[in-house]
């Protein structure tokens, strides 16, 4: 065999081997592409099942969701056919597109489900807000309620027409407004309660101050008392008009006038005044000690002993020059003695 | 819990005490006074709510208990001082009343 022929044979053999290797490689690649496409197709099938449950079985009213689901199903069907024909690349791109559409349909259906839940909770909030507005008669709250109710109605209408995105926004706004109204009126309630309490306190101060000032015959104090009472009357008027801030301010002003008047009559809390008060309590306690301690009434004895503790505290505080607290402690001691005597059916005189 | 409440009140009293003692210029004095008064009123309101809830809870079971009577008198004198704008004293007395009631409640829980 000539050298030339041998070379030709070698070349032909090389070519055959190369073609065989390329063919084998292509077959393996195709088989691998088939596995991947099948896996992706199955994933899309699972997602389409979910989309069907949400969009069809649960009755999502969105036309768009139904259209998207139909398109997704068609694409998926074609993708399976391509896969069965061995066109795995085509199958892969088809199933991925189908999956994207199914995901969009699911998103719409889930939003619809949220909106349906939102309707129930918003209706409850609006009922609550309506009741509160009726009671409070607050015009701003009433205007907000009107707006909230209108958004709610429009939201429900949009939902009936399958306009889920629009319904979602309208109902979200209605829900937010209803919450705002409730918070606003709750805060108003707290304010009213607090101011009402302060007004009652000023009334009690008037009741305490009036006899003391009238008995004192101090004309300046009397004039202050009158101004205080007038200011308190105005405060009540504002309170009844729902102007709580102003009522609060006025009742505090009234109280300042009353305190000034009382201080004119009672004097400031001076060491002398505190010493006098402590001495008076001492005198009372000495006078009734035997009555209470020999009474065998456990509660009365306990109260008397506590009174002694407060009286000791008062003396300590007087020594420490804490006159306000000292006066307070001796007052408490005196009151406890009075309560003990009440238990025994006696009076301190 | 109780220690925390006492600590909070101590800090509040300290803060408010400083506020009430801080000298203020004439121009800003009215506004500062108003703010200080508001702070006292708020603090007193909070403590009073605590006092009232404890008192109501215990009154059901032990209306004539000497400790309850003592707490009530403390709170009543506290209000007298509160009305006379002696806020620091009022708050201290009210806190004493609360402590009495908390002690009473502890006894109630230990020996129901």
* Number of Cβ within a 10 Å radius of residue B78: 27
Residue A68 structure tokens:
């998207």
Angle made by CA atoms B103, B107, B110, in degrees to the nearest 5: 135
CA distance B92 to chain A (A): 9
CA distance A325 to chain B (A): 6
Residue A60 DSSP code: -
pLDDT given for residue B26 in this prediction: 46
Residue A257 structure tokens:
């006038």
Which of B45, B69, B71 has the highest number of chain A CBs within 10 A, making it the mutation to test binding with A?
B69
C-alpha distances out from residue A311 to A10, A274, A279, A336, Å: 126, 12, 10, 10
pLDDT at residue A194 greater than cutoff 90: no
What gap in Å lies between CA B96 and CA A156, rounded to an integer? 57
Write out the DSSP string of A70-89. HHHHHHHHHHHHHHHTT-HH
Q: Which of B83, B88, B16, B95 is nearest to A266 (CA)?
A: B83
Which of A298, A328, A343 has the highest number of chain B CBs within 10 A, making it the mutation to test binding with B?
A328
**Euclidean distance between the first and the last CA atom of chain B, given in angstroms as a whole number:** 21
**Range in A345-349, B19-23, B53-57 with the lowest mean pLDDT:** B19-23
Chain Cα centroid distance, residue A231: 37
**Euclidean distance between the first and the last CA atom of chain A, given in angstroms as a whole number:** 151
Q: Note whether B79 contacts A: Cβ–Cβ < 8 A.
A: yes
Q: How confident is the model at residue A324 (pLDDT cuts 50, 70, 90)?
A: very high
By Cβ distance, the residue of B77, B84, B88 closest to A332 is B77
Write out the DSSP string of B5-30. HHHHHHHHHHHHHHHHHS---HHHHH
Task: Tell me what the mean pLDDT of segment A249-269 comes to.
Answer: 91
What gap in Å lies between CA A231 and CA A225, rounded to an integer? 10
Reported ipTM exceeds the 0.90 cut: no
Count of A–B CB contacts within 8 Å?
58
Q: CA-nearest residue of chain B to A193?
A: B45
**Sequence-separated (6 or more) residues with CB below 8 Å from residue A150:** none
Inter-chain CB proximity A336 and B93 less than 8 Å = no
Q: Which of A110, A186, A107 is nearest to A141 (CA)?
A: A186
Write out the DSSP string of A246-273. HHHHHHHHHHHHHHHHHHHHH----HHH
DSSP 3-state percent helix, strand, coil across chain B (nearest 5): 85, 0, 15
Which of A332, A338, A344 has the highest number of chain B CBs within 10 A, making it the mutation to test binding with B?
A332
CA distance A133 to chain B (A): 27
C-alpha distances out from residue A278 to A316, B60, B77, Å: 11, 34, 15
Q: Note whether B5 contacts A: Cβ–Cβ < 8 A.
A: no
By Cβ distance, the residue of A202, A204, A324 closest to B89 is A324
Q: Note whether B103 contacts A: Cβ–Cβ < 8 A.
A: no
Inter-chain CB proximity A332 and B64 less than 8 Å = no
What are the residue ranges of helices labelled H in A241-348?
Answer: 244-266, 271-293, 298-319, 323-343
Q: Which tens digit of pLDDT belongs to each residue from A237-257?
A: 999 888 888 999 999 999 999
By Cβ distance, the residue of B73, B83, B85 closest to A339 is B73
What gap in Å lies between CA A223 and CA A268, rounded to an integer? 19
What gap in Å lies between CA A258 and CA A256, rounded to an integer? 5
User: In 3-state terms, what secondary structure has residue A62?
Assistant: coil
What gap in Å lies between CA A329 and CA A332, rounded to an integer? 5
Which of B20, B36, B38, B73 has the highest number of chain A CBs within 10 A, making it the mutation to test binding with A?
B73
Task: Tell me what the mean pLDDT of segment A177-192 comes to.
Answer: 86
Residue A19 DSSP code: H
C-alpha distances out from residue A39 to A31, A49, A98, B95, Å: 13, 16, 14, 72
Inter-chain CB proximity A205 and B83 less than 8 Å = yes
Q: Which tens digit of pLDDT belongs to each residue from A103-138?
A: 999 999 998 888 888 888 999 999 999 998 888 778
Q: List residues of chain A with CB under 8 Å from any CB of chain B.
A: 194, 197-198, 201-202, 204-205, 208, 252, 255-256, 259, 262, 269, 299, 302-303, 306, 324-325, 328, 331-332, 335-336, 339
Task: Tell me what the mean pLDDT of segment A223-250 comes to.
Answer: 92
Chain Cα centroid distance, residue A329: 42
**Sequence-separated (6 or more) residues with CB below 8 Å from residue A240:** none
Which of chain B's residues have a Cβ under 8 Å away from the Cβ of A306?
66, 70
Q: Note whether B36 contacts A: Cβ–Cβ < 8 A.
A: no
By Cβ distance, the residue of A197, A302, A324 closest to B66 is A302
Q: Is A121 within 8 Å of A172 (Cβ atoms)?
A: no
Q: Note whether B73 contacts A: Cβ–Cβ < 8 A.
A: yes
Q: Which tens digit of pLDDT belongs to each residue from B91-108?
A: 999 999 999 899 888 887
What gap in Å lies between CA A98 and CA A51, rounded to an integer? 11
pLDDT at residue A12 greater than cutoff 80: no
pLDDT at residue A259 greater than cutoff 60: yes
pLDDT at residue A179 greater than cutoff 90: yes
By Cβ distance, the residue of A194, A303, A336 closest to B45 is A194
Q: Note whether B21 contacts A: Cβ–Cβ < 8 A.
A: no
Q: How confident is the model at residue A5 (pLDDT cuts 50, 70, 90)?
A: confident
Write out the DSSP string of B90-103. HHHHHHHHHHHHHH
Whose tokens are 């003692």? That residue is: B21
Q: Which tens digit of pLDDT belongs to each residue from A281-300?
A: 999 999 999 999 999 899 99
Q: How confident is the model at residue A23 (pLDDT cuts 50, 70, 90)?
A: low
Q: How confident is the model at residue B15 (pLDDT cuts 50, 70, 90)?
A: very low
CA distance B66 to chain A (A): 6
């Amino acid at each position: 065999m000539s050298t030339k022929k041998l070379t030709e044979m070698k070349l032909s053999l090389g070519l055959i081997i190369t073609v065989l290797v390329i063919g084998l490689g292509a077959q393996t690649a195709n088989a691998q592409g088939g596995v991947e496409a099948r896996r992706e197709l199955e994933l899309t099938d699972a997602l389409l099942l979910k989309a069907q449950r949400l969009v069809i079985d649960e009755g999502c009213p969105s036309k768009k969701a139904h259209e998207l689901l139909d398109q997704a199903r068609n694409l998926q069907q074609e993708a399976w056919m391509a896969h069965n024909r061995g066109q795995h690349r085509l199958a892969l791109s088809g199933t991925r597109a189908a999956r994207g559409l199914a995901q969009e349909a699911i998103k719409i259906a889930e939003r619809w489900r949220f909106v349906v839940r939102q309707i129930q909770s918003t209706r409850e909030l609006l009922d609550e807000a309506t009741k509160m507005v009726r009671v409070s008669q607050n015009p701003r709250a009433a205007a907000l309620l009107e707006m909230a109710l209108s958004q709610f109605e429009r939201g429900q209408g949009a939902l009936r027409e399958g306009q889920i995105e629009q319904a979602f926004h309208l109902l979200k706004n209605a829900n937010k407004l209803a919450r705002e109204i409730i918070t606003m009126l709750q805060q108003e309630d707290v304010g009213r309660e607090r101011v009402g309490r302060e007004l009652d306190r000023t009334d009690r101060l008037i009741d305490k101050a009036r006899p003391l000032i009238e008995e004192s015959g101090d004309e300046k104090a009397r004039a202050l008392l009158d101004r205080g009472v007038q200011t308190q009357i105005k405060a009540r008027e504002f309170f009844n008009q729902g102007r709580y801030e102003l009522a609060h301010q006025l009742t505090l002003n009234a109280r300042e006038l009353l305190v000034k008047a009382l201080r004119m009559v009672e004097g400031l809390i001076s060491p002398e005044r505190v010493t006098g008060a402590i001495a008076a309590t001492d005198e009372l306690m000495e006078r009734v000690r035997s009555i209470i301690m020999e009474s065998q009434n456990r509660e009365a004895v306990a109260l008397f002993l506590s009174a002694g503790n407060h009286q000791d505290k008062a003396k300590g505080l007087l020594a420490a020059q804490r006159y306000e607290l000292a006066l307070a402690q001796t007052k408490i001691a005196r009151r406890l003695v009075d309560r003990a005597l009440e238990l025994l059916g006696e009076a301190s005189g | 819990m109780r220690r925390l409440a006492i600590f909070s009140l101590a800090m509040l009293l300290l803060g408010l005490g400083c506020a009430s003692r801080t000298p203020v210029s004439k121009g800003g004095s009215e506004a500062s006074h108003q703010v200080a008064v508001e702070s006292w009123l708020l603090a007193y309101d909070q403590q009073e709510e605590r006092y009232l809830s404890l008192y109501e809870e215990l009154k059901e079971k032990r209306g004539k208990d000497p400790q309850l009577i003592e707490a009530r008198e403390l709170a009543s004198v506290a209000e007298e001082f509160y009305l006379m704008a002696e806020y620091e004293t009022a708050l201290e007395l009210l806190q004493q009343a609360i402590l009495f009631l908390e002690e009473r409640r502890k006894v109630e829980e230990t020996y129901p």
